[in-house]
Amino acid sequence: MALDENDKQWIDERLEAMETRLLRAFHEWASPADAKVRSHSAGLHALDLEIEALKNRVERLEHGKA
């Protein structure tokens, strides 16, 4: 069974509509997910700085340089 031009055009239109819906859905999901990742990343960075400061303090205390 061969497809005629109308069938091919219909398939192309359906595929384009499906791609558009998928990209839109991904974009709607990705934007909040990206914001959450950035927010968590900033929090983790702050914790890393605190841990580094505590580590340095403990090292100074261990070496008698309080």
Mean pLDDT, the chain, as a whole number?
91
Distance CA 66, CA 63 (A): 8
pLDDT class of 31 with cuts at 50, 70, 90: confident
Distance CA 29, CA 20 (A): 14
Q: How many residues does the chain have?
A: 66
Distance CA 4, CA 16 (A): 19
At residue 55, the 3 state secondary structure works out as helix
Residue 9 above 90 pLDDT? Answer: yes
Share of the chain above pLDDT 70, in %: 97
Residue with tokens 């031009």: 5
63, 55 contact by CB (below 8 A): no
